[in-house]
Amino acid sequence: MQLLLEIDDRTAKLAEIHRRLQEALGPLGPFLCLDPVSQLVMGLIGGKTRGEVSKAAFEKLQKHFGSWEAVRDAEVTEIHKVICRVTFADVKAIRLKQTLKIITQTNGCLSLERLEELTVEEALAWLERLPGVGRKVAAATLNFSTFRKAALVIDTHHLRVLRRLRFVGEQYTLTQAYDCIMPLLPADWSAGDLDDHHELVKLLGQTVCRYDAPDCGLCALEDLCPSAPQARSSDDHLLGRSI
């Protein structure tokens, strides 16, 4: 019973966090929904790279090759040349070509449409077998694309906020955080709500709850956050009395 109450409480807290961030940072978007293969390509080249750099590389790929089939059939060196400004461009060029080839071999054409009929869990598992595809890229392929499936994207900014809010432990990976948070999300949230939630929490992590210096005094979640200085000093006080 105690566990259930705890889960209900965390669901209500996530809904409140969403409401407050919408008020403080929103509205965001609307965002363009790419077709699933394009979204997968965007995710594959975007890891550990600033958004504007990966977007420019994606557009350059489209312009240079004209189709994802042409990228699949190109030499790795040519792909590398086009995406050279993204981080780990050499590895990403190899994985991108491999991934596009595997999709073609498995599905008979360069399409992910067969994922449409799978559950979110099945589709995530299918995508995560592709080279370079982890939970973040797989969830983005399902949620940001025209599939619009209910999969929460969690990136490193989002994960840092979840850790500081103590929804997940310090050592949780992106995949563990996904497995922990998904069952806690309000049941009536649509795929679009999940997309908005990710964008809001990510923006908080980029602007206020930064890696090196969280600006808790400016944070809309300060009174909800166990990592805020105010909460920490009240913890210290309680600890002092119990001794």
Q: Which residues bind ligand SF4 (CB under 6 A)?
A: 161, 164-165, 208-209, 214-216, 219, 221-222, 225, 227-228
Closer Cβ to ligand SF4, 37 or 216, answer by number: 216
Closer Cβ to ligand SF4, 25 or 76, answer by number: 25
**Residue whose token pair is 């190899």:** 94
Closer Cβ to ligand SF4, 167 or 178, answer by number: 167
- Shortest distance, position 240 Cβ to ligand SF4, whole Å: 22
Residue 136: helix, strand or coil by DSSP?
helix
Omega before 30 cis (within 30°)?
A: yes
- Shortest distance, position 201 Cβ to ligand SF4, whole Å: 9
- Shortest distance, position 162 Cβ to ligand SF4, whole Å: 9
- Shortest distance, position 185 Cβ to ligand SF4, whole Å: 18
Q: Which of 170, 166, 129, 134 is nearest to 153 (CA)?
A: 134
Q: What is the DSSP letter of 88?
A: T
- Up-side HSE of residue 30: CA atoms within 13 Å toward CB? 5
Closer Cβ to ligand SF4, 47 or 214, answer by number: 214
CB atoms within 10 A of CB 123: 23
